[in-house]
Structure 1
Amino acid sequence: MKILMVITSHDQLGNTGKKTGFWLEEFAAPYYVFKEAGVEMVLSSPKGGQPPFDPKSDEKEFQTELTTRYKQDKEAQAALANTVKLAGVTHDGFDAVFYPGGHGPMWDLAEDPDSIALLEAFYAAGKYLALVCHAPGVLRHVKAPDGNWLVKGKKVTGFTNTEEEAVQLTKVVPFLVEDELKAKGGVFSKADDWKPYVLIDGKLVTGQNPASSGPGATVLLALLRSR
């Protein structure tokens, strides 16, 4: 199996002067789920090279066994430091695409023509899309082959309004993931804040928050194995 992981290149948290990027757990947890299953991975980002991680995700309270493992894993660090440019990537040869979250994707990947085209191509080819936390927000401009919004009528989840309120960024982010998915016709549901929650609707897998990133990857892997 071969999975493409698409990671944000955006590092500015709106106009706050603070840094953002991808959320460390949301890369590390899926990375090791896939690695231990023998999956071949290609890591990509809009700018290529080293994607920025959200410094908050590196704080002690957000560390997990897998983020600690990543920090000791030179091979994983080298892979992440050398992401390929998204513009040169197609769905050919891949079984699925996985988007980790963090706030960064809301600014770049959500509006990136290459990302939008790639997701549409994966979906049109009958391949799986998996997106967790803020990453489901990158579906906001993505359409299905019939011309409707891809999420229209589909069961979806993502970072909730109450979770965004809890981190006090409701007024900072360019849009709210929950509201945007609903606006595009998604059938949005959620678990309690910060609890793992993953939904499957056809070829689309979405996870609610950082705690859903490992489970989301596990679900994707199970779907690929059961084909």
Structure 2
Amino acid sequence: MNVLFVLTSHDKLGDTGNKTGFWVEEFAAPYYTLVDKGVTITVATPKGGKAPIDPTSASADAQTEDTERFDRDEEAQKLINNTVKLDTLKAEDFDAVFYPGGHGPLWDLSEDKTSKALIEAFNKQEKTIAFVCHAPAALKNVKNENGEPLVKGKKVTGFTNTEEEAVQLTKVVPFLVEDMLKENGGTYSKAADWEVHVVKDGNLITGQNPASSNKVAELLYETLK
């Protein structure tokens, strides 16, 4: 079983002067959930090379068993430091695709034409497409086969407006994930802030926040069996 992980290449948090990137836990938890079951994982970014880690996600209070395992895992770190360039890959070569979050995807993956085409190809091939937290940003311009937004009429979730307010980045981000999913016609649902909430609709799986990343990966694995 081959699963493609797509990470952001974007490392600037708007005009704040602070850094962003992908959220370590949202990579690590799904990575180990799948790797431990024998799944082969390829990691790609729009630019290739080293994927930027959001420094906040590497701070002491954001650590979990999975992030601590990642910190000790040279093989996993090698994947992060040497990601494949997204435009060299084809959906045909993978069984599913998974997008971890972090704030980075709001800037690059939301507008990236290669990513958009790739998600559309996975969807056309009826393969699982999964996203967690801010990663549903990558669905912003993705269309279904009728040329309508892919999320239209589908049950979805993603980082909530109130969670964005809690981290005080509402005025920094280019758009709010919850608002975008609703504007694109998605049937959006959420749990309380920071609670686990994952929604599956057909081949589309979305998770609300970092706490939901493990469950997204478990559901993704169920679809591969």
Confirm or deny a common fold (TM above 0.5).
yes
Aligned to 2:38: 38
Q: How does 1:14-93 map to 2 (within 5 A)?
A: 14-93=14-93
Distance 1:137 1:196 in 2: 19
What is the CA–CA distance in structure 2 between the aligned matches of 1:214 and 1:49, rounded to whole Å? 25
**Counterpart-to-counterpart distance in 2, 1:48 and 1:33:** 24
SS for the counterpart of 1:44 is strand
Q: Deviations over 1:157-213 (max 9, x none)?
A: 000000000000000000000000000000000011001111000000000000111
Could you state the TM-score of these two structures normalised by the residue count of structure 1? 0.98
**Unpaired segments ≥5 residues, structure 1:** none
Counterpart Cα distance in 1 of 2:72 and 2:17: 30
* Paired letter, 1:47: K
| Match of residue 95 from structure 1 | 95
Taking the aligned partners of 1:214 and 1:81, their CA distance within structure 2 comes to 23
In the alignment, is residue 2 of structure 1 matched against residue 20 of structure 2? no
Query: Which residue of structure 1 lines up, in the alignment, with residue 202 of structure 2?
Result: 202
Q: Secondary structure at the match of 2:140?
A: helix
| CA distance in 2 between partners of 1:183 and 1:137 (Å) | 12
**Residue 79 of structure 1: CA displacement?**
1.5
SS in structure 2 at match of 1:5: strand
Distance in 1, Cα, partners of 2:107 & 2:47: 13
Deviation at 1:93, TM superposition (A): 1.9
Matched AA of 1:149: P
Could you tell me how far apart the structure 2 residues matched to 1:106 and 1:216 are?
A: 20
Partner of 1:117: 117
Residue 75 of structure 1: how far off its partner (Å) = 0.9
| Residue identity (%) | 60
Q: CA deviation at 1:88?
A: 1.0
How far off its partner does 1:49 sit? Answer: 1.0
Partner of 2:153: 153
The secondary structure found in structure 1 opposite 2:78 is helix
Letter in 2 for 1:223: T
For residues 224 and 168 of structure 1, the distance between their equivalents in structure 2, rounded to whole angstroms, comes to: 38
Cα deviation, 1:120-152, whole Å, max 9, x if unaligned, reads 010011111000000011101000011111000
Mark the runs of 5 or more structure 2 residues left unpaired by the alignment.
none
Partner of 2:213: 213
List, as ranges, runs of 4+ consecutive aligned residues in structure 1 with deviation greater than 6 Å. none
Whole-Å separation in 2 of the counterparts to 1:145 and 1:99: 21
The residue number in structure 1 matching 2:170 is 170
Matched residue SS, 2:67: helix
Give the SS at the match of 1:141: coil
1:179 alignment counterpart: 179
Which residue identity is paired with 1:152?
K
Corresponding residue number in structure 2 for 1:224: 224
- Give the Cα separation in 2 of the matches to 1:149 and 1:59: 36
Q: How many residues align?
A: 225
Distance 1:77 1:171 in 2: 32
